[in-house]
């Protein structure tokens, strides 16, 4: 039977009991409103660990004042049932002041890796992500932690933080789960009305167009992104935030499609900002 706890001390107590008898612990950090993408992370964590903790916390520190913190979708009851069915052992669902009491004044910051892609249009976002993920690692002391490749920049940043700060956790990246038309599963897809949902397939179509061009031999990234942009521009409900090709590890823009690259984009469909990416090894 899955347990739901609200306090840091309850998580620490449970995890230390597991660790005392030699059990390994996997952590799946989430902001809740779980979908098949999260389920794939939990499944992988269950396969690879004796016990699995899912954190379910909409982290205010990664939202700017103009973003959707208040309206971000939430459904704890459904989340707990999904976690239980997937074989997780504990859901950690703290209140904001449990994570950030009034006198909270520390943070993890990062340079470089957050200069491109989402870091440009969401200043402060990745600092907020690193701070909460660092806290979750300290609370749960997981052997492994599971993140989706859909948030490729987040994954690269977390891997870097773990290396830079010598954190004792293995970071496991898991493939993006897609709808039949290619749309990457995301909690924010729930914002889309029927027409927007149909339009949102344009992100994956554009990524595939870029991939096909590179597979056909094109190496000039500006020509590839121009084609990807033209695909998105054909969709009247879509407005491009960015479409870029970056080095998959440094997240710096690259002119030539060579080595390990990430074709990445953020596109507004109506008011909803969706992100997606494809990794290619050339």
Residues that bind ligand PAF (CB under 6 A): 29-31, 59, 62, 129, 132-133, 151, 154
On the 0-12 / 13-18 / 19+ scale of CB atoms within 10 A, 230 is exposed
User: Is the distance from CB of 227 to CB of 210 less than 8 angstroms?
Assistant: yes
Judge whether 38 counts as a catalytic residue: yes
Q: Which is nearer to ligand PAF, 137 or 204 (CB)?
A: 137
Q: Which is nearer to ligand PAF, 213 or 248 (CB)?
A: 248
Smallest distance, Å, CB 103 to ligand PAF?
Answer: 21
Positive or negative torsion for Cα 15, 17, 18, 19: positive
Rounded Cα gap, residues 31 and 133, in angstroms? 11
Smallest distance, Å, CB 235 to ligand PAF?
Answer: 26
Q: Which is nearer to ligand PAF, 59 or 189 (CB)?
A: 59
Task: Please identify which residue in the block is written with the tokens 């952590």.
Answer: 27
Q: Which is nearer to ligand PAF, 49 or 154 (CB)?
A: 154
Task: Please list the residues that pair with 220 across neighbouring strands.
Answer: 256
Number of Cα atoms under 13 Å in the Cβ half of residue 68: 13
Q: Which is nearer to ligand PAF, 53 or 214 (CB)?
A: 53
Compute CA distances 243 → 29, 37, 65, 128, 240, whole Å.
Answer: 27, 23, 24, 23, 7
Rounded Cα gap, residues 185 and 187, in angstroms? 7
Smallest distance, Å, CB 59 to ligand PAF?
Answer: 4
Smallest distance, Å, CB 56 to ligand PAF?
Answer: 9
- Residue of 35, 38, 125, 160 with catalytic role: 38
The two three-digit tokens of residue 83, written as one number: 């976690």
Smallest distance, Å, CB 175 to ligand PAF?
Answer: 15
Positive or negative torsion for Cα 253, 255, 260, 264: positive
Q: What is the DSSP letter of 21?
A: T
Active-site residue list:
38
């Amino acid at each position: 039977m899955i347990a739901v706890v609200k306090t840091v001390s309850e998580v620490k107590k449970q995890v230390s009991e597991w660790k005392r008898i030699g059990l390994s612990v996997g952590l799946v950090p989430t902001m809740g409103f779980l979908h098949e993408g999260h389920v794939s992370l939990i499944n992988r964590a269950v396969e690879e660990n004796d016990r699995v903790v899912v954190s379910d916390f909409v982290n205010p520190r990664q939202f700017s004042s103009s973003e959707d913190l208040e309206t971000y979708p939430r459904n704890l009851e459904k989340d707990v049932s999904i976690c239980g069915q997937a074989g997780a052992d504990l859901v950690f669902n703290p209140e904001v002041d449990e994570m950030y009491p009034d006198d909270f004044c520390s943070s993890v910051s990062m340079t470089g890796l957050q200069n491109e892609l989402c870091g440009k249009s969401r200043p402060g976002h990745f600092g907020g992500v690193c701070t909460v993920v660092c806290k979750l690692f300290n609370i749960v002391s997981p052997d492994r932690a599971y993140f989706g490749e859909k948030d490729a920049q987040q994954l690269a940043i977390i891997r870097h933080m773990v290396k830079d700060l010598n954190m004792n956790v293995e970071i496991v990246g898991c493939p993006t789960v897609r709808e039949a038309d290619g749309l990457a599963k995301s909690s924010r897809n729930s914002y889309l009305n029927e027409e927007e949902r149909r339009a949102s397939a344009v992100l994956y179509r554009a990524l595939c167009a870029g991939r096909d061009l590179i597979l056909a031999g094109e190496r000039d990234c500006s020509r590839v992104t121009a084609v990807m942009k033209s695909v998105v521009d054909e969709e009247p409900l879509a407005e491009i935030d960015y479409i870029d090709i970056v080095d998959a590890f440094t997240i710096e823009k690259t002119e030539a499609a060579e080595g390990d690259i990430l074709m990445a984009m953020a596109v507004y469909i109506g008011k909803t900002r969706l992100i997606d990416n494809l990794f290619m090894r050339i």
